[in-house]
Chain A
């Protein structure tokens, strides 16, 4: 056997174990079936280990430790029928074999005795008496606080391990070898038994892990538990294990994930509520502006009738004439504002459809220029465009014309007399349309909020022209609906350039 020791076992023997004689080495399968052994078994075991038998018969302390959850694991000071206490090192190899190294603790104690005696005799005595207190009842399950039960039927069994403290606090009166109706003590196990009974029937070896449940012990502390159904050599075991550290980690991760989900749901709900409120607002504005249009148009019509009736207007003195002209001007502005409100709210509600078709850009610019020609002339502004070869773009001509009209009328409004306005078109991965003026220009702060709509405190034009604060918001919405982009570059006192980008068709 020694000739066939795997390299990791040799390394472990050389580097990890103290240099004492008397090591017993037992090789088992992953089920704990003895394959081979080497060393003084008499010191450690009550009888000679027979290949083919389960190691658990010789060392009950190894119950449920093979297969082990990690490697190596060391069980300290185990006495299993032999004359000495041993540390048992359990090492798994890559071949799913287990090597059990029994290291004599009596020799170790003897080895350090002289040194300890020299250092502190009292300590030595305490140390020895501490060791002498060991009566062989040490149980590896103490490490985990496991409660082990040998199962008789699906409800009853015998406690086969030392009774851990948590269990005594939870259900006093039980001890090793006590009979236990485990489904009565742990009602959760009723659920696990559905799976466990099936597992015990089908499997010959191995273990099945239950879900997690919690029990409250006498001091009010909650203990999270998990159960293992184990079968070995036809014997059915239940192992009930507290899982404090693991549960904390799992709970923390789950708590964080769920809190995040709750926060996201809240945010989603708030957004939905906000959208609904905005929709109500837009519907309200849409209805009011629609219904205001008729009375406003009627008043405007009356003032225009008066203005154009030369006989009637001639009867009025200058004061009343001015009043009529003012009413007319304000009604035109009110109607324009009302129309924009109506348009804006419908854009926000999505009550419009972009119907794109190939349209001559040159024609659109010329139409827009004609719309504001009077204003351009009245301020003696020079207007230019660089379009020589006509370009065709895919747009909704009515809506896009509104964009050009808004941008041009804005440019005219803020450009002083004798200034310049230009519309230039460039081929730049699609089209880039620039509307440039030599007007008042804007600060960065104004530019940043220009397309938001409902701009408060709008700036007056160079001739005191008032704005609605909606025009560029509408422009931006239309551009967005086309899948284009718009931005502005401006320098206060020098002028502004509005840039529309129409991407190349893919």
Chain B
């Protein structure tokens, strides 16, 4: 079976852990619990008849208190950049991390997830921002860890991208 490492990168409290919990365990918690360090989960997905074991690296959020080490990114085949639609600052952090990911794992498939679609009314990220990211050649998927919106789609998309690379 093919085994692929996927890393979740983003600012703090954007929903990285919640996305993995929803995808792997079908659980969502309203309570924000900050992540320390790294947590690795696994899930096998079937992509167009091929079974892929996804090793999901949930890495602590990037901010002034915790910086992401490039070593975490090494060896990854896929990278989710998670942005909180309600917090513009998380877009800036996301863009920083895209650069880090491209530099450290140039062959990794990158997908940008704009999370918290359930709070669309409070979004700071505009359609122009999303078009801008798409214009730079990135795949952008809008998700909600809370309502399980487009999460399977996101993980299958990245699995497909990794296989086809």
Contacts and interface: CB of A to CB of B under 8 A. Distances in A.
A257 B36 CA distance: 13
B47 interface: no
Interface size class of B (residues with CB under 8 A): 20 to 34
A246 to B, nearest CB: 10
A213 to B, nearest CB: 4
A226 to B, nearest CB: 8
Contacts of A213: 37-40
A269 interface: yes
Contacts of A194: 71, 74
B36 A250 contact: yes
Interface in B55-72: 55, 57, 61, 63, 65-66, 69, 71-72
Contacts, number: 61
A262 B13 CA distance: 8
A261 B63 contact: yes
B89 interface: yes
A224 interface: yes
B13 A211 contact: no
A258 interface: yes
A257 B38 contact: no
B39 A251 contact: no
A254 interface: yes
Contacts of A254: 34, 36, 65-66
B13 A191 contact: no
B96 interface: no
B37 A212 contact: yes
A258 B75 contact: no
Interface string A173-200: 0000000000000011011101100000
Interface size class of A (residues with CB under 8 A): 20 to 34
B63 A258 contact: yes
A262 B37 contact: no
B55 to A, nearest CB: 6
A48 to B, nearest CB: 45
A247 B89 CA distance: 27
B136 interface: no
Contacts of B38: 188, 191, 211-214
Interface string A250-288: 110011011101100100010000000000000000000
Nearest to B37: A212
B87 interface: yes
A414 to B, nearest CB: 48
Nearest to B5: A187
Contacts of A258: 12-13, 32, 34, 61, 63, 65
Contacts of A212: 36-38
Nearest to A192: B71
Contacts of B74: 191, 194
A254 B34 CA distance: 7
Contact of A259 (B32, B71, B75): B32
B115 to A, nearest CB: 15
B131 interface: no
B124 interface: yes
A314 B5 CA distance: 98
Interface string B15-43: 00000000000000000111011111000
A188 B36 contact: no
A195 B71 contact: yes
Interface of B: 5, 12-13, 32-34, 36-40, 55, 57, 61, 63, 65-66, 69, 71-72, 74-75, 87, 89, 124
Interface of A: 187-188, 190-192, 194-195, 211-215, 222, 224, 247, 250-251, 254-255, 257-259, 261-262, 265, 269
15 contacts: A187-B5, A191-B38, A194-B71, A194-B74, A212-B38, A213-B40, A215-B40, A222-B39, A251-B36, A255-B33, A258-B12, A258-B34, A258-B61, A262-B32, A269-B124
